[in-house]
A and B are shown apart, each in its own frame.
Chain A
């Protein structure tokens, strides 16, 4: 063993590798992405690593590997599990041979997600065991336990950290390479009574799963990461039940205090019922401090009923803890002070700060998406139009002054939503914007649906040749794999033509005049048509020389600022000025300026 300073997600990857990982697959999504990326970096060639086309593909691939005796990990964010839920629900019945851990990162807040859904519910819904680590060290230790339990009970298991564990860093105790487990997969052994799901098999499997989970509830009551921290004063008749990162906030809040007993739940499903009973006995009241949903609170309320305990269970359901958003050290200490009857430290009177500038996320300077949105906006000026957005950097096209995202729901939804709007409002120019990675993940079926069902719409693919939002992962259109291979790219244009989209035009959005003309021409056609705006992500290419504003030509009309909202143009001494540290020289502003006042570096001469 030795110590290293690791990010939670890196610790999960390290733990999985130490547990003899053979295969990892996933789809990028904050806060889960670094698990697979770190595994790829650690890979000596013995582990198969892939970014799958979406979470469903990743989970199915992992299942096949685990059927063959491999230790497999599948990574995704919480909403990704919705996409993978079809195979998940059935795989729970089939089970696995090699250990299989489905790593699903939840995002209280939410900080960078559409929902605050709680994967602990997915665990009880799918009847799969779930591990919920509270720290970077626990994440490292428990991912290894997760593989052991999975293999021992022949079931996939869920491993559910949250953002603060995934993205927190800590100095942790890790194994030396010589201590790593080595797993040699036996290979797939044919047995249709085992691997082919049929109603009869499902009935038997359901019986077995319920028995197993009753047994696991007992086993987990003795699991080392489920524990009770005894009260400092043994006569204290109050307790706190908690989990995950909130456990650490609770322990911080109880430092130097007459602390009540604390019950930490690291396996929310199957719930460690006997451990809970032991904790509850003799207590008058328990405060449950949880993030996302009141899972522990409901379990304890149920157990109190089942065992005729008179303990009062408090938490989100009783409005003692707020129902949404993430907990903090501060919010938890206020919750606990209220529960214990302690004084809440008064905030001292300080002078109110001056109005702070807000810094909402915006498209980067030089981002080609800005040009794409602007071209469509210009082309559709004065026409009745709707712009359905999707998940990615380009959701930021909603911000002023572009204001080009009218809807955003979930991965790949925009292409279908715009069809629905078109059926009700046939006189509207219906657009759907989708990024290249999202196109492959879940928009192809939408394009097929549009063609088959005679939609009237324009599909705009914003192809920047990467998965930008999550940190530039490769996808089928990039021609690179996580195993370092250079492979044939899957062409978006050919895919669209192949499914029956007759007009597919590819344009560079930074050539504004051509881009606007193309949108006007293509949008005027009937049926389903597509425009691919192709230009690489500004973060990935070497910046050109910054633009230069000619002060003699600039009339201070501010059209560049008011139409584009580019961080590379700022107001300095009451006039537009180029922020040289940000400007990439993309040239969009010079095409927007009505007075030809903005040019490349050559303009200065």
Chain B
């Protein structure tokens, strides 16, 4: 069994932590795991991606185009940017809330995210839309977006884990006072 997972979005959305959590869940089940992400110049506001591979016979963390089983997109345009990596028949779990780049503000371009969502829906059969903004508002914290997204991805049956397994790992990772909030987000 091998899974290639691509998580993408914008710096500050909690992508790296999501990737670490999936890796920890794999370690717990003794599944070999590798990952790679952008770090360095990509700080707050830059495009961020994390490649994650689970299973045997893996040489490198980065996988070739058209081989991702799932893209967990925290931002519509970022999911479109990484779409070439999705395999035929692969799935997308997408947060519908767009993040405007500074350059769009300067040039007065009217990026809304809508055109990205429609493009993905036209070109990929299995797209799960998540209203991450509303979810965070209902749960009561903007910091749980990554758990909302991870929960939605797990329910898609692509990752070799159950919600309970992810929850157990989460409990070991986050501070005790945030466990309840994150559990709610995972099961949103």
A: residues with CB less than 8 A from B are 3-5, 30-31, 111-112, 135-136, 163-164, 167-171, 245, 247-249, 251-252, 255, 328-330, 333, 348, 350-351, 353-354, 356-362, 364-365, 400-401, 539, 561-562, 565-567, 569-571, 581-582
Other 8 A-B pairs with CB < 8 A, given A251-B59, A360-B101, A360-B103 = A168-B35, A171-B32, A247-B59, A353-B80, A354-B115, A356-B77, A565-B102, A567-B44
Q: Assess the A249–B101 pair: CB atoms within 8 A.
A: no
Can you spell out 20 A-B residue pairs with CB atoms less than 8 angstroms apart?
A31-B39, A111-B41, A135-B60, A164-B36, A168-B60, A168-B61, A171-B23, A171-B32, A249-B60, A329-B62, A351-B123, A354-B80, A356-B77, A356-B81, A357-B111, A359-B10, A364-B45, A400-B106, A565-B102, A582-B44
- Smallest CB-CB separation from B109: which chain A residue? A357
- Across-interface contacts of B176 in A (CB, < 8 A): none
Q: Assess the B103–A571 pair: CB atoms within 8 A.
A: no
Contact of A567 among B45, B64, B108 (CB under 8 A): B45
Also in contact, A329 and B23, with CB within 8 A (given A357-B100, A357-B101, A358-B103): no
- Smallest CB-CB separation from A167: which chain B residue? B39
- Across-interface contacts of A30 in B (CB, < 8 A): 39-41
Within 8 A of A (CB), among B77-118: 77, 80-81, 83, 88, 100-106, 108-109, 111, 115-116
Q: Which 4 interchain pairs have the tightest Cβ spacing?
A: A248-B60, A112-B40, A248-B59, A329-B64
Also in contact, A5 and B23, with CB within 8 A (given A255-B57, A353-B119, A359-B10): yes
Q: Assess the B105–A569 pair: CB atoms within 8 A.
A: yes
- Across-interface contacts of B27 in A (CB, < 8 A): 3-5, 171
- Across-interface contacts of A163 in B (CB, < 8 A): 40
Q: Assess the B33–A170 pair: CB atoms within 8 A.
A: yes
Q: Assess the A168–B41 pair: CB atoms within 8 A.
A: no
Chain B interface, >50% SS class:
mixed
- Across-interface contacts of B40 in A (CB, < 8 A): 30-31, 111-112, 163, 167
Also in contact, A329 and B100, with CB within 8 A (given A171-B26, A353-B119, A581-B142): no
* Nearest CB of chain B from residue A356's CB, rounded to whole Å: 5
Q: Assess the A359–B59 pair: CB atoms within 8 A.
A: no
Does residue B65 face the partner (Cβ distance < 8 Å to A)?
yes
B: residues with CB less than 8 A from A are 10, 20, 23-24, 26-27, 32-37, 39-47, 57, 59-65, 77, 80-81, 83, 88, 100-106, 108-109, 111, 115-116, 119, 122-123, 142
Q: Assess the B62–A359 pair: CB atoms within 8 A.
A: no
Q: Assess the A361–B61 pair: CB atoms within 8 A.
A: no
Q: Assess the A361–B63 pair: CB atoms within 8 A.
A: no
How far, in whole Å, are A569 and B100 apart by their CA atoms in the complex? 10
- Smallest CB-CB separation from A252: which chain B residue? B59
Give the residue among B44, B45, B102 with the most A Cβ atoms within 10 A.
Answer: B102
- Smallest CB-CB separation from A246: which chain B residue? B60
Give the residue among B20, B36, B63 with the most A Cβ atoms within 10 A.
Answer: B36
Contact of A169 among B34, B57, B88 (CB under 8 A): B34
- Across-interface contacts of A353 in B (CB, < 8 A): 80-81, 83, 116, 119
Q: Assess the A330–B102 pair: CB atoms within 8 A.
A: no
- Across-interface contacts of A171 in B (CB, < 8 A): 23, 26-27, 32-34
- Across-interface contacts of A249 in B (CB, < 8 A): 59-60, 62
- Smallest CB-CB separation from B33: which chain A residue? A171
- Across-interface contacts of A351 in B (CB, < 8 A): 119, 122-123
Q: Assess the A364–B43 pair: CB atoms within 8 A.
A: yes
Q: Assess the A362–B45 pair: CB atoms within 8 A.
A: yes
